[in-house]
Structure 1
Amino acid sequence: MKRFTQLFLDVDATTSTNAKVRAIQQYFHDENPQNAIWALYLLMSKTRKRLITSRVLREIFLQISEIPEWLFEESASHVGDTAETIALLLRDVSIEPTGTSSAGGDTPLHEWMESVIPQVKEIKDKESDRLKNLVIDWWANLQDDEIFVLNKVLTGAFRMGASTKLVVKALSAEYGLTEAVLTHRLMGDIETTGEFYQALIDPDETDASPSRPYPFFLAAPIDVEKFAAEPMEQWQAEWKWDGIRAQLIYREGQLFIWSRGEDLITHQFPEFESAVGVIPDGTVLDGEIVCWDAEKPLDFNFLQKRLGRKRVTKKLMAENPVHFIAYDLLEKEGEDIRTMPLQARRAAMTALIDQHPNECISYAKPLAFETFEALEDWRSQSRAMGAEGLMLKALNSPYLVGRKRGYWWKHKVDPMTLDAVMIYAQAGTGKRSNLFTDYTFALWKGQGEGRTLVPFTKAYSGLDNAEIEKLDRWIRRHTNEKFGPVRSVEPFHVFEIGFEGIAESKRHKSGIAVRFPRILRWRTDKPMKEADTLASAIALLKSRV
């Protein structure tokens, strides 16, 4: 635990990409495989399960300290994170161990992750003395920064200040493997064993799990000026559908479906089992899962009802039928064909699907165009087609890893917008935990003196640092009420909110929900009374139906 915590501190202490990579590389150079695989697991944010809530940790801390609850709440409000607040306050608290656990900073990371922390799972009553004594002993035997790391792991909120790309770069530098090979080997599930780690770094390793997906190739936002100068005949255009990007894998007689977020979602879409035995073994298709109405996708709101379900009923499948629109063929008859040009991969994909038809699978059809102006005309029809915009792909492009500019562009439609009034604010997390960066916006409802502001969305991105700091100072001076970490503020400022989609929602007071909301600009030129109305939002919704 001590060595991993030092890695966390080394990475957190610098903004230099090279320094982060060197720190991670040095850690893996010095560490044994049993600990290294767990460090990799944590670095890649694979620990999403919450074992103990922040509330339970807070209650345990208040029971063993003389700090009053109001002071703890004020401290947590300033820090912005309960786990970090506890770690900071414990510096001045004398803890008497209970003798329940002897695990400490010198206990290897793999023992913490495999046997020490899992003891929490055996305790059904999260308010019990046994759980309390375990946590007390862990805190007593660890240093401040080690406590912080432990608290974040326990609450399922551990995040390292390094992306997966930096981790792969460090492994590549240490073991002499290409980043593409390592990225592929790390796709899908990671087995937290020393053997898995040894296989990961073995230059001669060839055996791959039949379920393992390929790293996704991503499009970059279009550089219009650069693209408009390109020879149009060297590019393919297709609709950018609003669904779940996924890979459909059929190997060794088994079907696997992986989302772009590296979640295995096969069980959520049993319809695709019909492809088993139809498409050839050794096939990997890259595409989009959408809800389907005859020959075109439905609104994302339909697909939303299918997500995260442990059990998919026949009724749910009938009301929200899904379809896989294939974009690309990555593996044919067990052979990785990603280095082939898109034009060749596409020809192989269309031939495969035409020869092995399945009612749940089709392929994206290119849009005809000869000029950039013709592309813009297609883009203007996106919303009528239920699409987010266009995908533009170079016909000679290989299927690469991650986001490589110049090969694939996404040319999205301009967002829908509404001018709304900020009514609530909440502090951010991490480095912005002492600033109010998360905001709730409202629209007008009603007429005349009976007009009221109804909350319709939250947003936290779109303002630059100077605007955030200026707004933060204003929020602190114009707070009406406090509700835990949330502040009700004087309704005054108007912001233009952009979003990609709008749908009816019974869960929201406004009756609507918007997709991907963000702040486009601070409307300092617009008084609050001129902000948009809920009627405007509903009219926008009806225009999309």
Structure 2
Amino acid sequence: MHAFATLFTALDASTATSDKVAALRRYFAQARPEDAAWAVYFLAGGKLRQVVPTGVLRALACAEAGVPEWLFEESYQAVGDLAETIAHVLPPAGQLGEPLGLAEWIEHRLLPLRGLPPEEQARRVASYWRELDTTGRFLLTKLIGGGFRVGVSKLLVQRALAEHAELDAKRVAQRMMGYTDGRSTPSAARYLALLAPAAPAQEGEQRAPDDAGQPYPFFLAHQLEGDAADFEARLGPPERWLVEWKFDGIRAQIVKRAGRVWIWSRGEDLITERFPEIVALAQPLPDGTVLDGELVVWQDERPAPFALLQQRIGRLKLTKKVLGDAPVNFIAYDLLEWQGVDWRAQPHTARRQQLEQVLADSRMQLSPMVQAADWPALAELRIESRERGVEGFMLKQRDAAYGTGRTKSSGTWWKWKIEPMTADGVLVYAQRGHGRRASVYTDYTFAVWNRQPADAAEAQAVLDAIARREPAQPGALQLVPFAKAYSGLTDAEFAEVDRVIRANTLEKFGPVRSVKPTLVFELGFEGIQRSPRHKSGIATRFPRMLRIRHDKPLWEADTLQTLEALIHG
């Protein structure tokens, strides 16, 4: 644990990429394989399921520090992070314990905590805290709660491993695909497999049974902003690009090798069993085939809203009714491997041509190409996106190779998305942020009117009643919460809103403050659908703040009827 804490401190102390890579290389050079296996897992985004309830940790910290609960809560509100608060309030460590490795901490101490009685969990965690310094306590509590994060990207971890083992970073990236899947425990053998010497050039043609299902790292797109009139100068003529509709589904790879089919999500989750109909479609593919594409619910000859796919994913059992209500297809748009050979270095046009041949007799769908005379003409077609059930366009360089992650070294993919849906909402609740924004209220809840106010006076009467803390009357005019957002503003704007929140707080509910309605915000979101789980009956997808509407009086904020109209298009 000490070595991992030293690495964490080094990564957290610098923003320079070279310093982070150097710190990682130093760690990998001296760490035991079993410890490095867990370090790579956490650094690459893997998380443990919470092993001790938060309530147990809070009560234990109060007892160990000898502070009342209210003082701990005030400290937590000031710090903004539970693990950091606990690490600071605990008394100084006495005699530090024996230096155990990270693997021993995880496998023999943390994981056995799950399922123990709360009293036994508290006893063991208290003894562990007493063995560690402040940084070690912070990391241990983060790992116990399943909330470990550090300022290093997966690409940097792959780069450091590649330099340490003198391998191509792309090879390491491919080997790491699926490494953080929760169903596979990190081990020395898995870590050493990441560092194994490169096989001959034809390695892709012969795979051992234990890695036959290995996917490739996904190539990610950059957001394209600006006016289409400027694209000619920035991107050249449209003929240089393959243009496709951007589907709103789950990015996935289908891997067919050794007579089996694997389906991987972009998040590196193995999701094969969730999509039996796609497995059936992929089974006829020849061994040594890997496809990149999108899993989409397809109804009435068009893509259905993502919300339907989300409901399907949440089902524990895939009954015939579930499969029938949300039929999924795979929209293929790239060929990564064919006949066991890696095709990613081939030009996109060559990969596309071969993909068309591969799927000539398949019931899988091929992503349709979009053509237009110029960029303004494409912009006109893009307006049809919502009507078609898509999010805009994908632009892919014709001669580009298939890269790794969000990089421009192999060419570029752009996502030219349609403008978000918008609504004007009133700020009604606020909560402090995390990290560097822990002392500022940055997480907001917004409301709309349940109907259009007759005039400013009627709306003001409701606002006055809220200020007096009077509950809303059934059937009367009221503000109904419908969305939460925490991004989109500058630091200066967050500071401005924070001052308004503090001056207009009505009540406190733990970390949340109810706020006297004072500000209107324009919110943007990618999708909207009905939701019986929300008081408003409506849920938005990826809401964020576009601007503060200082120009708009509260009584002119939007209504539930406005949101209903967006649902109906």
Task: Tell me the secondary structure at the aligned position of residue 373 of structure 1.
Answer: helix
Q: 1:342 to 1:265 in 2, by over 3 A?
A: same
Task: Tell me the secondary structure at the aligned position of residue 402 of structure 1.
Answer: coil
Q: 1:105 to 1:310 in 2, by over 3 A?
A: farther
Of 235, 238, 251, which residue of structure 2 is paired with 1:232? Answer: 238
Of 485, 490, 503, which residue of structure 2 is paired with 1:459? Answer: 485
Aligned-pair distance for 1:462? 0.4
Query: 1:321 maps to which residue?
Result: 327
Q: Distance in 1 between matches of 2:350 and 2:300?
A: 29
Aligned partners of 1:268 and 1:309 also within 8 Å: no
Aligned partners of 1:390 and 1:411 also within 8 Å: yes
Aligned length: 530
Instruction: Tell whether 2:83 aligns with 1:89.
Output: no
Query: 2:172 maps to which residue?
Result: 182
Over aligned residues, Cα RMSD in angstroms?
1.9
Aligned partners of 1:251 and 1:282 also within 8 Å: yes
Instruction: Tell whether 2:445 aligns with 1:440.
Output: yes
Aligned residue type for 1:68: P
Of 412, 416, 419, which residue of structure 2 is paired with 1:411? Answer: 416
Q: Distance in 2 between matches of 1:153 and 1:136?
A: 15
Task: Tell me the secondary structure at the aligned position of residue 431 of structure 2.
Answer: strand
Task: Tell me the secondary structure at the aligned position of residue 217 of structure 1.
Answer: coil
Aligned-pair distance for 1:224? 4.6
Q: Distance in 2 between matches of 1:469 and 1:496?
A: 18
Q: Per-residue CA shift, 1:202-243, capped at 9, x if unaligned?
A: 232555611111111111112557632312222111110111
Q: Distance in 1 between matches of 2:351 and 2:98?
A: 52
Q: Distance in 2 between matches of 1:105 and 1:183?
A: 35
Instruction: Tell whether 2:508 aligns with 1:503.
Output: no
Q: 1:408 to 1:65 in 2, by over 3 A?
A: closer
Instruction: Tell whether 2:148 aligns with 1:146.
Output: no
Task: Tell me the secondary structure at the aligned position of residue 91 of structure 2.
Answer: helix
Q: Per-residue CA shift, 1:400-435, capped at 9, x if unaligned?
A: 111234521111111111111111111112222222
Aligned partners of 1:218 and 1:403 also within 8 Å: yes
Query: 2:126 maps to which residue?
Result: 136
Q: Distance in 2 between matches of 1:151 and 1:213?
A: 33
Aligned-pair distance for 1:294? 4.0
Task: Tell me the secondary structure at the aligned position of residue 264 of structure 2.
Answer: strand
Aligned residue type for 1:382: S
Query: 1:55 maps to which residue?
Result: 55
Query: 2:467 maps to which residue?
Result: none
Task: Tell me the secondary structure at the aligned position of residue 371 of structure 2.
Answer: coil
Aligned partners of 2:61 and 2:89 also within 8 Å: no
Aligned residue type for 1:212: Q
Query: 2:466 maps to which residue?
Result: none
Task: Tell me the secondary structure at the aligned position of residue 398 of structure 1.
Answer: coil
Aligned residue type for 1:472: D
Aligned residue type for 2:111: P
Query: 2:107 maps to which residue?
Result: 114
Identity over aligned residues, as a percent? 45
Q: Distance in 2 between matches of 1:105 and 1:41?
A: 24
Q: 1:504 to 1:5 in 2, by over 3 A?
A: same
Query: 2:553 maps to which residue?
Result: 527
Query: 2:299 maps to which residue?
Result: 293
Q: Per-residue CA shift, 1:278-332, capped at 9, x if unaligned?
A: 1111111100001111422111111111114342111111111111000111111
Q: TM-score, normalised by structure 1?
A: 0.93
Instruction: Tell whether 2:508 aligns with 1:487.
Output: no
Aligned partners of 2:508 and 2:514 also within 8 Å: yes
Point out 4+ residue stretches in structure 1 off by more than 4 angstroms.
Answer: 205-208, 223-226
Query: 2:308 maps to which residue?
Result: 302
Query: 2:149 maps to which residue?
Result: 159
Aligned-pair distance for 1:122? 5.2
Q: Distance in 1 between matches of 2:48 and 2:293?
A: 26
Task: Tell me the secondary structure at the aligned position of residue 89 of structure 2.
Answer: helix
Q: 1:7 to 1:182 in 2, by over 3 A?
A: same
Aligned-pair distance for 1:9? 1.1
Task: Tell me the secondary structure at the aligned position of residue 241 of structure 1.
Answer: coil
Q: Per-residue CA shift, 1:151-207, capped at 9, x if unaligned?
A: 000110011111112212222333322221111111113552222222212232555
Aligned residue type for 1:520: L
Aligned-pair distance for 1:35? 1.4
Q: Per-residue CA shift, 1:448-467, capped at 9, x if unaligned?
A: 43421111100111001111
Instruction: Tell whether 2:189 aligns with 1:195.
Output: yes
Structure 1 gap segments, 5+ residues each: 98-102
Task: Tell me the secondary structure at the aligned position of residue 278 of structure 1.
Answer: coil
Q: Per-residue CA shift, 1:259-281, capped at 9, x if unaligned?
A: 11111111111112213541111
Q: Distance in 2 between matches of 1:178 and 1:521?
A: 44
Of 378, 396, 400, which residue of structure 1 is paired with 2:399? Answer: 396
Task: Tell me the secondary structure at the aligned position of residue 496 of structure 1.
Answer: strand
Q: Distance in 2 between matches of 1:408 and 1:332?
A: 22
Query: 1:426 maps to which residue?
Result: 431
Q: TM-score, normalised by structure 2?
A: 0.89
**Greater mean deviation of Cα atoms: 475-484 or 198-207:** 198-207
Query: 1:100 maps to which residue?
Result: none
Aligned-pair distance for 1:483? 0.7
Of 221, 245, 254, which residue of structure 2 is paired with 1:248? Answer: 254
Q: Distance in 1 between matches of 2:503 and 2:7?
A: 39
Aligned partners of 2:65 and 2:91 also within 8 Å: no
